[in-house]
Chains A and B, each alone.
Chain A
Amino acid sequence: MASVQLNNVVKKYGALEVVHGINLDVAHNEFVVLVGPSGCGKSTTLRMIAGLEEISGGEISIGEQVVNDLPPRDRNISMVFQNYALYPHMTVRENLGFSLKIAGKEQAEIDRAVNEASTILALEDYMDRRPGALSGGQRQRVAMGRAIVRHPDVFLFDEPLSNLDAKLRAQMRVEIKKLHQKIKTTIIYVTHDQVEAMTLADRIVIMRDGFIEQQGTPSEVFEHPVNTFVATFIGSPPMNLLQGKVIADNQLAFAEGFTLPVPQEFVGAVKAGQDIVLGFRADNLMPENHALDLDEASPPIKMPIVVSEPLGTETLLYTRLAGGEIQAKMLKPRPVVDGEVLTFHLDLARCHLFDADTQKSLR
């Protein structure tokens, strides 16, 4: 039961700085997901919290206590590794009970805790097997079981689902969410999968190149990305971006003579001559008669379909606009022929404008 604070935490490997002074406040019982592309420093950050990696600068506290120099065993944390790191020479039961045994607990108490964990994770049938004789999903559950028997203050997960197939991953995602409801504990969870981040997190922390780009609830970062990086990283398919320029009369001009009015929200925030990037999601660009109600409809836009991807309840349309390839969505889909020209409307109220130089939101 504890909060976690990172204060200007820096990590250097020799001269190479890979984490550049990040600040993060994780509240008690909060589920925080660190997400970002490969190599951005998520694992490094998590490992510093765990005490597996020395901190080159700054301060980490767990439950009000600064833990900079404490070894992992004194931080009362549990960690689930990407490759599970189960002890191959021990049975599932021994794996689960290991931490309690090291702590010198009585056998009866160990048995009770191990049985409780195995019930929560439905591991009863495998208790006497070695990890080598388990499937990927079962190993994953053992790894989680090993983490929960100790009732730690903080759970750390490093891409625990990335070795599972898509179906199992979706299933385990739900399991983890249920687990969090059952055993209220602070969780810090690392993933590079934005879907996992969106579905699991109370709060998402988006990292890039050792910096935190944005943090907020899933809907905040989805609806109000602070820059183009977050805009394209969160959400699937990624947000469409078009390079353009503000011209007179609150108009936006793009390549190939395509123009749009400046969305109401940004009138006054931009001035003529400014280079901008327009961002909008596929969900906000829909063909006529296959759309939701639009709050601020753009003039009709005619676009040829390059490829269509029927997904059942909707169809993803790949089209060309202003020299770029962009994606649109068709609700209540009908079959579409490649090359067919459809008329679209863009919901200007859901558009984002970014500064072309800084890539930051102009909101």
Chain B
Amino acid sequence: MALDLNFQHRVKARLISIAHTVTLFIAMSIICIPGLWIVLNSFRPTVDIMAKPPVWIPRDLNLDNYYAMFGGAGEGGVPVLQYFTNSLIISVTSTLIALLIGMAGGYAFARYRFKGKNAIFIGLLLTRAVPGVALSLPLFIVMAKTGLIDTHIGLIMVYVAMNVPFTIWLIDGFFRQIPPDLAEAAEIDGCTRWQAFWKVEFPVAKAGVASAGIFAFLTSWNEYALASQLTRSTFSKTMPVGLRDFTSEFTINWGGMCALAVLMIIPALVLTFLVQKHLIAGLTFGGVKG
């Protein structure tokens, strides 16, 4: 009898674990296959990409699309390097600014009491409920009047505004988890308020700042809708906007587009990889007894 019950449970556990694996596999496939398809297509000639029925197993892989992308600016080629630089400058700068403001704001929300704190906080979050595209026309007009259309600064400002509410919210959450006692202990140990922040609170909240940073970077890096309105020339176009250069009136250069897409994915991957060490809650809050 008892043996039976044990057996039943074992079978049940087994079935559940199989179901787990299958579900996970399906979910991961849905997430990963489009990405893999892009990478694969970037190495294939257009014939293969467009083949019907699709060619699943690659036959003829080459780097032609990449050569074309970097080399042949002449024959309607796309100034990819310029786009890459634009993207990098705009994303990195806007991320750094958003992080600085996010840290200052998040710390203030986590540590200080002031009038209208909750209202301001909710107001910040509400700004995220407004779809960015809805702002594109007003933004366009403002930028046009101030001469910021087609400049790095214009886009940087837009992205900072987009990211700040989220970085504040995320960083606030991390500072909230750090007991105020830590900074107080540091002050007693001889730190100024400023030192206590940089030597104790900031290192402990690094994981939060890093994740906010990744988020802000990826948002700016991938943003298309606003960038397509506010940029015009190679001087400020970012890579997502640049992707459109591969479509001409009658043809779409899928291979080239995929190659550029891969180029876009790489920095995002590298960054995530570098920072993930901090993301894994490597920092146990063991300094205080919970």
Contact = CB atoms under 8 A, between A and B. Distances in A.
Contacts of B284: 88, 130, 132
Given A72-B188, A132-B284, A146-B189, A87 B289 contact: no
B188 A89 contact: no
Interface stretch (B139-147, B149-157, B176-184): B176-184
A73 interface: yes
A50 interface: yes
Contact of A85 (B192, B287, B290): B287
Contact of B283 (A84, A89, A103, A150): A89
Nearest to B189: A99
Given A102-B195, A132-B287, A134-B286, A85 B189 contact: no
Interface stretch (A75-83, A260-268, A280-288): A75-83
A349 to B, nearest CB: 46
Given A88-B283, A89-B203, A102-B195, A83 B288 contact: yes
B195 A131 contact: no
A81 B188 CA distance: 11
A77 B188 contact: yes
A310 interface: no
B12 to A, nearest CB: 37
Contact of B287 (A87, A99, A136, A150): A87
A254 B217 CA distance: 79
A337 interface: no
Contact of A73 (B190, B287, B288, B289): B190
Given A81-B181, A84-B289, A87-B182, 7 more contacts: A84-B288, A87-B204, A89-B200, A99-B190, A102-B190, A131-B287, A146-B189
Given A73-B192, A132-B284, A79 B185 contact: yes
B100 interface: no
Interface of A: 50-52, 71-73, 77-79, 81, 83-89, 98-99, 102-103, 130-134, 136, 139, 146, 150, 163
B187 interface: yes
B191 interface: yes
B181 A83 contact: yes
A241 B72 CA distance: 99
Contacts, number: 94
B108 interface: no
B101 interface: no
B110 interface: no
Nearest to B193: A71
Contacts of A130: 284, 286
Most buried by A among B184, B187, B285, B288: B288
Given A73-B190, A99-B190, A88 B185 contact: no
B289 A163 contact: yes
A98 B288 contact: no
Nearest to A81: B181
Of A83, A85, A99, which is in contact with the most chain B CB atoms at under 10 Å from its CB? A85
B186 interface: yes
Contacts of A84: 287-289
A78 B289 CA distance: 19
Contacts of B182: 85, 87-88
21 contacts: A51-B187, A52-B187, A72-B184, A73-B187, A79-B185, A81-B181, A83-B290, A84-B287, A84-B289, A87-B204, A88-B283, A88-B286, A88-B287, A89-B203, A102-B195, A131-B286, A131-B287, A146-B185, A146-B189, A150-B190, A163-B289
A131 B284 CA distance: 9
A27 to B, nearest CB: 22
B288 A86 contact: yes
Contact of B191 (A52, A73, A86, A146): A73
Contacts of A52: 184, 187-188
A78 B188 CA distance: 6
Nearest to B183: A85
A87 B204 CA distance: 8
A334 B99 CA distance: 73
A54 to B, nearest CB: 13
Contact of A83 (B191, B195, B289): B289
Interface in B169-225: 179, 181-182, 184-192, 195, 199-200, 203-204
A77 B283 CA distance: 29
A132 B203 CA distance: 15
A79 B191 CA distance: 14
Contacts of B290: 83
Nearest to A52: B184
A130 B192 CA distance: 24
A79 B289 contact: no
B191 A102 contact: yes
Nearest to A156: B188
A130 B287 CA distance: 8
A103 B286 contact: no
Interface in B242-290: 283-290
Contacts of A87: 182, 185-186, 200, 204, 287
B98 to A, nearest CB: 24
B286 A79 contact: no
A190 to B, nearest CB: 14
- Residue among B184, B185, B286 with most chain A CB within 10 A: B185
B204 A50 contact: no
Contacts of B188: 50-52, 72-73, 77-79
A88 B191 CA distance: 17
B288 A85 contact: yes
Contacts of B283: 88-89
Nearest to B178: A88
Contacts of A72: 184, 187-188
Contacts of B186: 87, 98
Contacts of B286: 86, 88, 130-134, 139
A139 B181 CA distance: 15
A84 B179 CA distance: 11
